[in-house]
Amino acid sequence: MESIKNIDRGFGRGQPAGRLMRALGLVATATLALSFASQGAFAKDLSNEQGPLPTLEIAPGGSKSFTAAILRFRSVGPPVGDARIETLREEIERAVAFSTEVQPLPHAAYLASEDSPALDEEGIDCDSFKQSGADAILLGEVRREGGQIRADLRIVSVARCQNLTTGNVVGARDGLASMGRTIADEAVEALTGIRGVASTEIAFVSDRTGDREIYVMSADGRDQRPATGSRTLKMFPEWTPDGRAVLYSNYDGGQPAFSITSRAKEITAGPILRSLMPGLPKYRGRFDPSGEELAMVSSVDGAAEIFRVKRKGSEPRRLTNHPSIDISPSWSPDGRQLVFCSDRSGAPQLYVMDRDGGAVRRLTYTGAYNASPVWSPDGRWIAYETRVRGQFDIWLIDPSGQINFPIVQHRRSDEAPTWSPDGRKIAFSSARRGRYDIYVMDWNGENLKRLTSRAGKNIQADWGPQPE
């Protein structure tokens, strides 16, 4: 059978109302203010804020949801244990439900056996499952394989009673949650054509221990653990495109600089690009889709500007050259353009330029304060935060600027969106409970779920890529 994935993964366990500040890098608080991050640095009564509000509102329609019957896998060879088999089923169902594109068939609806037959057995009772409301059947076998567990699976279309896909997943005996997520992502892909994201991870910043550190968690909010622990101020996590490391901005009392934390042995954790542009601050790095180049922000002549550099720190190229503040670059999926935030019009707005800094055009004309843009994986939308009557909401705009609408609105601020790799979900930070937590929702604003719940602020989420 075709191998799906070996999933044994883990990450290192054990604003001012007027013109923006231009004194970048003198102290950490001054540097942070330049992020347009709408945190405490911008505390101000904005109830009388003036500025045009967006007028075109489009309510995105819902998408078709499929139903999958998740059978109890059959044990082959030395017993795996009924408890493990039941746990694996529960983990698959939980991960499938996270997708919202596919939902598990309720157990009470089954009109056929909930136990999986042998994978090579013919004559599956597709008619009974069709009457139960299932679009697909996930059946499988589990067996011991050395010190691990192997799950062989088969996904069958109920309508045609034919295989959609087959495969296998190998994981640790105590890694049933990871195995379940990978199997669920395969089921989502078999039914929708786009792989699910239950097995992906989210990096974020949290001060739950008193220091702002980088944390990593599963996409559904489980397995939260620190990825750094040096007790210096850290901001702006950014996954490498291969998902093996996280870049972040490190404020150790001097100029902000880049560091990296990694799960890969061949990538050395710690400061990077130290010889690049010596004496100047470097922060808010964003990898291009190839992972070979980095868009970053530095301060030149008192203004924040955007640069493009090679991953190894060579050939810095200045992309913006304006007395205003230019920050928050985000690459288009094809790597040909960048969207960024600039106050060159007098207030923070979104602009688009090509990868060499040319063809600059203003994207947003509504809203008095627009920031934190991020391009969707399919290139159709740019998510961003906009300030409306004193709080921030998450909006979408198409790259031409013709369509612009809110996807989440709340009396408390919702900020810093980040897309899931399938483009179906958005994670963001929100103060709706009185302090900042990370939330996730469908791209159209539905199925909101809080991911963090511990003490402290949890901000600046960055959704990682599909695991390799």
- Structure confidence at residue 290 as a pLDDT band (50, 70, 90): very high
Mark whether 183 and 320 lie in a shared domain: no
Task: State what percent of residues in the chain have pLDDT above 90.
Answer: 69
Residue 108 inside a domain? The answer is yes
Structure tokens at 96: 């499938």
Is residue 164 within 8 A of residue 182, CB to CB? The reply is no
Is residue 189 within 8 A of residue 181, CB to CB? The reply is no
Residue 382 CA, chain-centre distance (Å), reads 14
CATH number at residue 158: 3.40.50.10070
Mark whether 123 and 91 lie in a shared domain: yes
Structure tokens at 236: 């702006």
Pick the more confident residue, 415 or 31: 415
What's the confidence (pLDDT) of residue 274?
Answer: 87
- Sign of the torsion angle spanned by Cα atoms 103, 107, 108, 114: positive
**Range scoring the smallest mean pLDDT among 45-59, 308-322, 404-418:** 45-59
192, 213, 228 - which closes a domain: 192
What's the confidence (pLDDT) of residue 64?
Answer: 64
Pick the more confident residue, 3 or 290: 290
Residue 459 inside a domain? The answer is yes
Give CA–CA dist 449/299, Å, rounded.
37
CATH number at residue 389: 2.120.10.30
Task: Flag whether pLDDT at 30 surpasses 60.
Answer: no
Mark whether 149 and 40 lie in a shared domain: no
- Structure confidence at residue 63 as a pLDDT band (50, 70, 90): low
pLDDT, tens digit, 9 for 90 and up, residues 225-262 = 999 998 889 999 999 999 999 999 998 877 899 999 99
Mark whether 365 and 269 lie in a shared domain: yes
pLDDT, tens digit, 9 for 90 and up, residues 64-80 = 689 999 999 999 998 88
Task: Flag whether pLDDT at 54 surpasses 50.
Answer: no
Residue 376 inside a domain? The answer is yes
Mark whether 166 and 259 lie in a shared domain: no
Mark whether 181 and 303 lie in a shared domain: no
What's the confidence (pLDDT) of residue 10?
Answer: 36
pTM of the predicted protein model: 0.86
The gap between the terminal CA atoms of the chain, to the nearest Å, is: 18
Structure tokens at 134: 């299932």
Residue 457 inside a domain? The answer is yes
174, 192, 210 - which closes a domain: 192
pLDDT, tens digit, 9 for 90 and up, residues 381-409 = 999 999 988 889 999 999 999 999 999 88
Task: Flag whether pLDDT at 14 surpasses 70.
Answer: no
Residue 240 inside a domain? The answer is yes
What's the domain count of the chain? 2
What's the confidence (pLDDT) of residue 315?
Answer: 78
Q: Is 247 exposed, middle or buried (0-12, 13-18, 19+ CB in 10 A)?
A: buried
Mark whether 163 and 238 lie in a shared domain: no
Mark whether 161 and 274 lie in a shared domain: no
Residue 417 inside a domain? The answer is yes
Residue 431 inside a domain? The answer is yes
Mark whether 186 and 210 lie in a shared domain: no
82-99 vs 176-192: helix crossing angle, rounded to 10: 50
Residue 10 inside a domain? The answer is no
Task: Flag whether pLDDT at 21 surpasses 70.
Answer: no
What's the confidence (pLDDT) of residue 434?
Answer: 86
Task: Flag whether pLDDT at 268 surpasses 80.
Answer: yes
What's the confidence (pLDDT) of residue 345?
Answer: 93
β-bridge pairing 337-342 and 349-354 = antiparallel
* φ and ψ of 447, to 5 deg: 55, 50
Question: Mean pLDDT, to the nearest integer, of 194-206?
Answer: 97
pLDDT, tens digit, 9 for 90 and up, residues 158-184 = 999 999 999 999 999 889 999 999 999
192, 217, 251 - which closes a domain: 192
pLDDT, tens digit, 9 for 90 and up, residues 128-147 = 999 999 999 999 999 999 88
Mark whether 238 and 332 lie in a shared domain: yes
pLDDT, tens digit, 9 for 90 and up, residues 415-462 = 999 999 999 999 999 998 889 999 999 999 999 999 998 778 999 999
Question: Mean pLDDT, to the nearest integer, of 272-286?
Answer: 91
Mark whether 306 and 337 lie in a shared domain: yes
pLDDT, tens digit, 9 for 90 and up, residues 241-251 = 999 999 999 98
Q: Quote the domain boundaries for residue 150.
A: 66-192
- Structure confidence at residue 32 as a pLDDT band (50, 70, 90): very low
